[in-house]
Structure 1
């Protein structure tokens, strides 16, 4: 049996403990400095994560970050970074201080890395910063943590440039309800993981911009479908520019994850507000006050990438109407405005 160390006791890091432990593996769940109350709850008999429904199995041990030792990582088969993008620096510091032996590290973190004028994915940026990480594994695809923890059918994709590492980790984690694909396109998986949050803002805005009063939720379907398709196409173009494969955007990590994100969450809620004519500042200062909306962070990083390349005949690679509309709303504080009359979905 394998030993897995999960850094971050947030909802996704904790949910991944469920299939791993169910397969008989030993899991050490390490809370970040922000997870102290969660760890204290999980260490109580029958303690349940505040965002999940059931206790973890007996072969999952939860500890606080200050109890983590070098030998915990030294005998791990895989380490999982289960933090959001603001926690990447913490993970990097912990690994560099405590890793004494090479080990693959898998990331559920969604975000892009901007260093000056260079934009890269975590698959490109993190390996040079973590010398003892023997392989970078990207985890992508449509996965709501609570549903995975409740063993609802879930399909995800693991990526590593060394496909044998991705296959080995998938074999450890896969169950009859958690189905896993593998690929070598770690850059593409990481790009889509960040971009789907960004594009979910624009797609969700279309749900409320054209209300249908005859529907129970007042959300029209045709405008959303058109924007969803356009989002997938633009995601593929940006994925390729970032060094990934455009085809990745048309699979689980792209359109699959975009579908789940549009269905609910903070990016979707921001989009719904924009669709009614409100500004980003208004929504973020009210119902999303104090929340991390990762699509907004992604927009700020994308601002360093030119999206205004002219569209040449037969070439759609410079056509980003939806991305441009989202960028204007997020960065220029303008009302969300996608000119549907000029939209060419291609």
Structure 2
């Protein structure tokens, strides 16, 4: 039996406790300073997670962050980071406080780290650098990607994900720890590729989801979204994601697997990135949406776009990347950074100049 400390009691961090507990491990679920009500609710009744809408096993140990100290950090065999992307700096501070010796740290947190005018890095890079300053740069880091809706995992619906690490044996060890009949874990040594795709799918899901509201079949009793344009832009998103994953330092084929195409599929199917995209497809500007129907919500695709932009535009200027190969990204960044209406449609695909790429 292993001891697993999860930092972040939101829906994803909480759902990961289910396969871990089903495998007999001890799980401490530590809430952030924003999760006080969640932890209070779970302490009273493990089945009453306020946002997950699914029960957690009674064996989970919910803790407020003030109840977690170096003793719990030292006892943990693995630490799982389950905060949303804006919380990455907070969680790095907690890791510095809690980690006293090298141990695996797994991140389900999705995002890119801005590096000025260079290509963006992964959150795992930021964690490694911060721990390195403490003399713990040899902590093994694992990126968790793939199509996983937290509530479905908590309800034990069949789910396939990928654990990636520069040290494949570390990813494999953690996979064996977590895998169940319903939670099937693949492994990869393409940590940068998985981390890049895990972040970029949130960004691209905004653009794909815009097609759902932009194109509607009018000849039905109840108008329904046209599927052809959504599928075409989904493919465009995957092609661009593959180019960006390779540019960032991963393998382009990772974009065509669970961390890319698979995760993009479920993200387009629902969630805040998808909701934002549908509003953009209906010709609302980003600020209108974020000050209106999504006010107070964290839309991680926006953060990813803002982190991606400086390095991407610099690469365009230097000729490292061709902007003509990224029409969807450029349209999204115009909408995010300049508050323009989302000006991308089926005619923007440009297939004559950029033929379909393969993974071979």
Give the TM bin, normalised by the shorter chain. Answer: over 0.9
Q: How does 1:83-94 map to 2 (within 5 A)?
A: 83-94=83-94
1:172 maps to which residue? 177
Shift of 1:48: 1.7
Shift of 1:330: 1.2
- Between the aligned partners of 1:148 and 1:116, the Cα distance in structure 2 is 37
Q: Counting helix residues as a fraction of each chain, which structure ranks higher?
A: 2
Shift of 1:51: 2.1
Q: Give deviations 1:30-79, integer Å, cap 9, x for gaps.
A: 11111111111111144421123443223310110001121211121110
- Between the aligned partners of 2:283 and 2:116, the Cα distance in structure 1 is 33
- Between the aligned partners of 2:344 and 2:76, the Cα distance in structure 1 is 49
User: Is the counterpart of residue 7 in structure 1 residue 13 in structure 2?
Assistant: no
2:20 maps to which residue? 20
1:197 maps to which residue? 202
2:294 maps to which residue? 288
Q: Secondary structure at the match of 1:4?
A: strand
1:111 touches 1:193 (CA, 8 Å); kept in 2?
Answer: yes
1:325 touches 1:336 (CA, 8 Å); kept in 2?
Answer: yes
Match of 2:338 among 328, 332, 339: 332
Shift of 1:180: 0.6
2:28 touches 2:63 (CA, 8 Å); kept in 1?
Answer: yes
1:321 maps to which residue? 327
2:105 touches 2:142 (CA, 8 Å); kept in 1?
Answer: yes
Match of 1:140 among 141, 145, 156: 145
2:164 touches 2:189 (CA, 8 Å); kept in 1?
Answer: yes
Residues 87-96 or 227-236, more deviating: 87-96
- Between the aligned partners of 2:332 and 2:33, the Cα distance in structure 1 is 33
Aligned residues: 343
Q: Secondary structure at the match of 1:195?
A: helix
Residues 171-180 or 120-129, more deviating: 120-129
Match of 1:303 among 309, 321, 329: 309
1:48 maps to which residue? 48
- Between the aligned partners of 1:271 and 1:144, the Cα distance in structure 2 is 18
Distance 1:173 1:112, change over 3 A: same
- Between the aligned partners of 1:165 and 1:205, the Cα distance in structure 2 is 39
Shift of 1:130: 1.6
Q: How does 1:1-346 map to 2 (within 5 A)?
A: 1-118=1-118, 119-131=120-132, 132=136, 134-215=139-220, 216=222, 218-306=224-312, 309=316, 319-345=325-351, 346=356
Shift of 1:316: 7.8
Q: Secondary structure at the match of 1:180?
A: strand
Residues 166-175 or 208-217, more deviating: 208-217
- Between the aligned partners of 1:54 and 1:140, the Cα distance in structure 2 is 21
- Between the aligned partners of 1:28 and 1:303, the Cα distance in structure 2 is 37
Unpaired runs of 5+ in structure 2?
A: none
Q: Secondary structure at the match of 1:127?
A: helix
User: CA-atom RMSD, angstroms?
Assistant: 1.9
- Between the aligned partners of 2:129 and 2:311, the Cα distance in structure 1 is 23
Shift of 1:99: 1.5
Distance 1:54 1:284, change over 3 A: closer
2:46 touches 2:57 (CA, 8 Å); kept in 1?
Answer: no
Moved over 6 A (4+): none
- Between the aligned partners of 2:295 and 2:323, the Cα distance in structure 1 is 36
Q: Give deviations 1:71-99, integer Å, cap 9, x for gaps.
A: 21112111000101111111111111121
